[in-house]
């Protein structure tokens, strides 16, 4: 019975992230699961989804870890795109078309990229006009 709940919970978390246009924190995902499972189970599901390359982690400017659904059709170990963190509404979005570039010494190996731009998102920018 535990496997069924976990599968149901994993499906629910995956659907929540698939439908979201922004990255979500653990607590936001937990609230959206409507008490389907406990907080530890959500952490385990998120870890599994990250390890399976279905979602990726984003650290916002305050240090909060958020999760977003990967939109690629093949496995990648580095999510080579930028993220945008809105200073007003605090939403984080993946900017799939913005590819960060960097130059590092040859004796380094990159295993993770966290490239975050900050400012005002289109919704907040338009509401301030």
Q: What is the pLDDT of residues 13-32, one digit of tens each?
A: 999 999 998 999 999 999 99
Helical (H) or strand (E) element with 49 = helix 39-51
Asked whether residue 106 carries a pLDDT value surpassing 80, the answer given is yes
Fold of 2-127: Arc Repressor Mutant, subunit A (1.10.10)
Residue-wise pLDDT for 47-89, tens only, equals 999 988 889 888 887 888 999 987 655 455 556 678 899 989 8
Q: Which of 34-48, 67-81, 103-117 has the highest mean pLDDT?
A: 34-48
Rounded average pLDDT over 117-127: 90
Task: Tell me whether residue 124 is annotated as binding.
Answer: yes
Task: Tell me whether residue 86 is annotated as binding.
Answer: yes
Task: Tell me whether residue 70 is annotated as binding.
Answer: no
Nearest alpha carbon to residue 112 among 77, 61, 66: 77
74-105 residues labelled b (16+ CB within 10 A) or e (exposed) = eeeeebbbbbbbbeeebbbbbeeeeeeeeeee
Residues 7, 112: Cα–Cα separation, whole Å: 28
């Amino acid at each position: 019975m535990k496997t069924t709940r976990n599968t149901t919970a994993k499906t629910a978390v995956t659907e929540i992230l698939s439908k979201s246009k922004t990255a979500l924190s653990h607590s936001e995902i937990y609230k959206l699961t409507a008490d389907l499972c406990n907080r530890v189970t959500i952490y385990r599901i998120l870890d599994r989804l990250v390890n399976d390359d279905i979602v990726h982690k984003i650290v916002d400017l305050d240090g909060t870890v958020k999760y977003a659904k990967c939109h690629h059709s093949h496995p990648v170990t580095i999510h080579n795109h930028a993220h945008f963190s809105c200073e007003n509404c605090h939403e984080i979005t993946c900017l799939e078309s913005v590819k960060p570039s960097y130059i590092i010494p040859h004796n380094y190996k990159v295993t993770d990229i966290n490239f975050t731009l900050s400012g005002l998102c289109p919704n907040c920018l338009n509401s301030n006009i």
